[in-house]
Chain A
Amino acid sequence: MLNITLGESKISCQANETVLEALLKANIQIPYGCQQGVCQSCLMCSLDAAPPVLAQAGLKDTLQKQNYFLACLCHPEQDMTVALPEQQGALLNASVIKKQQLTPDILRLVLQYDAELTFFAGQFVNLQRFDGLMRSYSIANSPQHDKILEFHIRRLPNGQFSNWVHDELGHGTPLTLTEAQGSCHYLPGRMEQPLLLIGTGSGLAPLYGIINDALAQGHTGAIHLYHGSRNQDGLYLIDEMRGLTKQFDNFNYTACLSGACVAEQAIETGYAQGRAHDLALNANQNLKGWRVYLCGHPEMVNQSKRAAYIKGASLSDIYADAFLVSNR
């Protein structure tokens, strides 16, 4: 008999019992559905022991790495402390150490945090203001930097949080943040796999982190980044990206402008004309065996996900982060 800890509750799990069965028997309700590992409704995360391999069948590799598992398939091999995906809400303190304007609308915000935080570039955290107002932002840097997180924050019209960050948040102002979440990040292994990354606007933030992570870990396959915006004002880190293409033979960068009146001069200076995902997907007819990262506007993300899949990428190799705008 093994012990399962979920929040305040400690329950016992008999041999031949799954974590889901043990929880339900103890009258602890968690979301579940098919009970055969298909619907993934009973997704949970182990906070200590690595879950049994069989309990991770069918999960994305990035989720497996973060010790996610399906309660209905999990016959524990040792005592486990588990959490539901949204329960990992511990708050950390952080303070601003840098604000830099990247475009008229997008700000680079660098925070220093004070406790232990495990994350991958490309995951997201929730940033919380003193009054509780909270928004999700993608992490643009890899963990090797010393307790620092970088975000690219776009000012939204009427965006309560983004306007506050742009206009009022000062150096040293305290903020809180939640633990990193999300499965859109780089994992080593299959280093020769070609990568296709498509981002619009501040969707470059996670991709920038993922690319630096992949290059630092020695990814050998071709890496193709398409970053798009309507006009030149919306693109950023262009020189840095062009610099990377000189430094790494396998890195390719296309800056895409989709606006109706793109100046001829822009095309002559190395910008491509068209929407980032159209250009990226037209240039690559067969994506079988590719790994694809999509970040930014939800419509772009959804269309591209489908198109990449139809062109042969397997669903488990498509990592997407749709930037949903809060209505609150």
Chain B
Amino acid sequence: MSATPETKNATLFEQLGGAGAVDAAVDIFYRKVLADYRINRFFDNVDMEKQAAKQKAFLTMAFGGPHNYTGEDMRKGHENLVKMGLDDSHFDAVMEHLGATLQELNVPQALIAQVAAIAESTRNDVLGR
């Protein structure tokens, strides 16, 4: 990943490497999520291509890229999962995989923290609070 934290005025998205970086991250991130017994039941019976597309939109947002996600979308999209018992522990697990994915891609710690902060900001909407 061509992360260049020293570049002045570059947006977070540009520093992370833009759309190409999102593609690389989705591949690793979604695999980690599906392999995790703590959370993978929430992904049973989903169309994998559609789910990967959603992960891509989510990571694009978390990377500070162009998106049209709203808090309302997040609520609606996770409503059924909350009924299935989605709670903070599951959200934490996903955050863990996001961090590990970025580390695997050698993203500098300071940028990982920024991505994590954006992802963290969706917690209450995702959990319907």
Instruction: Give the residues in chain B near A34, CB-CB below 8 Å.
Output: 57, 68
Is A108 positioned at the interface, with any CB of B under 8 Å from its CB? Answer: no
User: Are A38 and B57 interface neighbours, CB within 8 A?
Assistant: yes
A305 to B31, CA, bound (A): 12
If the complex has contacts A305-B48, A309-B48, A314-B27, are A38 and B53 also in contact, measured as CB distance less than 8 A? yes
For the complex, is B84 an interface residue (Cβ under 8 Å from A)?
no
Specify the main secondary structure of chain A where it touches its partner.
loop
> In the complex, which residues of chain B have a beta carbon less than 8 angstroms from the beta carbon of A310?
31, 34-35
Task: Looking at the assembled complex, report how far the CB atom of A173 sits from the nearest CB atom of chain B, in whole angstroms.
Answer: 37
Q: Which of A36, A39, A306, A314 contacts B34 (CB 8 A)?
A: A306
Q: Is B6 an interface residue (CB 8 A)?
A: no
Bound state CA distance, A40 and B56, in angstroms?
12
With A and B bound together, what is the CA distance between A305 and B66 in angstroms? 30
In the complex the two chains form, is A309's CB within 8 Å of B31's CB? yes
Q: Determine whether the beta carbon of B56 is less than 8 Å from that of A38.
A: yes
A:3-43 near B, CB below 8 Å? 34-36, 38-40
Q: Which residue of A lies closest to B68 (CB)?
A: A34
Q: Which of B35, B48, B57, B60 contacts A315 (CB 8 A)?
A: B48
Size bracket of the B interface: 10 to 19
Q: How far is the CB of A95 from chain B (nearest CB, A)?
A: 37
Chain A residues within 8 Å of chain B by Cβ, number: 13
- The reply to whether the CB of B95 lies closer than 8 angstroms to some CB of chain A is no
Write out, one digit per residue, whether chain B residues 22-33 have a CB within 8 A of any chain A CB (1) or not (0): 000001001100
Partner pick for B53 among A35, A39, A306, A312, CB 8 A cutoff: A39
Are A315 and B66 touching (Cβ within 8 A)?
A: no
Interface 1/0 per residue, B20-55 and A, CB below 8 Å: 000000010011001100000000000011101100
Q: Which of B27, B31, B50, B56 has the most CB of A within 10 A?
A: B31
- Contacts of B58-78 to chain A: CB distance below 8 A: 60, 66-68
Q: Which of A35, A39, A40, A306 interacts with B48 by CB under 8 Å?
A: A306
Establish whether residues A309 and B34, one from each chain, have CB atoms under 8 Å apart when the complex forms: yes
Which of B34, B52, B53, B56 has the most chain A CB atoms closer than 10 A to its own CB? B53
Distance of B70 from chain A, by nearest CB (Å): 12
Are A315 and B52 closer than 8 Å at their CB atoms?
A: yes
A312 to B49, CA, bound (A): 15
Alpha-carbon distance A39/B56, docked complex (angstroms):
9
What residues of B have a CB within 8 angstroms of the CB of A306 in the complex? 34, 48
Kindly list the 6 A-B residue pairs having the minimum CB-CB distance in the complex, ordered from nearest: A310-B35, A38-B57, A38-B53, A315-B52, A310-B34, A39-B53
